[in-house]
Amino acid sequence: MKQIVAMGGGGFLMEDTPLLDDFILSRAKGKESRLCFLATASGDSDRMLVNFYTALGARCSASHLALFRRTHADIASYLLKQDIVYVGGGNTANMLAVWRTHGVDKALARAYEHGVVLCGVSAGALCWFDCGVTDSFGHLAPLDGLLGLLPGSFCPHYNGDAGRRPTYHRLIREGMKAGFAADVGAALYFANGTLAEVVTSAPNAGAYRVECREDITHEEQLETRYLGNR
């Protein structure tokens, strides 16, 4: 099965709770999962890598793929050996440019087809779609030419700042493809390219379907499943 988990924000990078990361691990082999972290969007930030290993190093078979200090010659083979690929946040436009230089874009598409779970937060969620809203250029703007493994558009951090919702609504009204938005603490789980459910690490975190009908932007709040209180 082809699986993608797109987080509007959250996970070990943004939250103290492990709920979303637990959900991601459950999509593969749990603690036995081989999980590779890509911190490309932050320039392979040492701080982010330390946070990753601190949070997940003891909870799975953890490793990372560095591109600014590249150590793996055959990236495609390395990613195919993983159960999960987890992409961190940062600058989406820069990340995609680096990925394409090193062939990571094609390697990820191949891994997806072979059943490797793809997931990520912020830039690591936006990248799987056709297009979406980014702050890669210092202000909120549209970004096209993403990996396109999921159809349509995406807006992360929907409740993260006051400009996200009106910017996404305007871009949809101006012709951006219909898509999804997710708050910090909300994760959209796609199975075989179709939204299967929305899970959250906070009771008030939301996710939304946003589209344009007759030149008016329509936003529908999606049903969510809170992962706490088990």
Full-prediction pTM beyond 0.95? yes
- Give the CA count within 13 Å in the CB-facing half-sphere of 159: 14
| 128 pLDDT above the threshold of 90 | yes
pLDDT class for 16, splitting at 50, 70, 90? Answer: confident
Q: Are 116 and 84 in contact (CB under 8 A)?
A: yes
Query: Residue range 9-29: average pLDDT?
Result: 93
Give per-residue pLDDT as tens, 79-104.
999 999 999 999 999 999 999 999 99
State the catalytic residue, choosing from 122, 136, 153, 201: 122
Q: What is the pLDDT of residue 229?
A: 76
What pLDDT band is residue 230 in, cutting at 50, 70 and 90?
low
- Render pLDDT for 155-206 as a digit per residue (tens, 0 to 9): 999 998 889 999 999 999 999 999 999 999 999 999 999 999 999 999 999 9
102 is an active site residue: no
Q: What is the average pLDDT score of the chain?
A: 96
Which of the following is catalytic: 153, 157, 169, 201?
157
Closest-CA residue to 93 (of 164, 145, 148, 162): 145
Token couple for 49: 């890598």
Active site residue 157: yes
Q: Which pLDDT belongs to residue 161?
A: 85
- Domains of the chain from N-terminus onward: 3-226 (3.40.50.880)
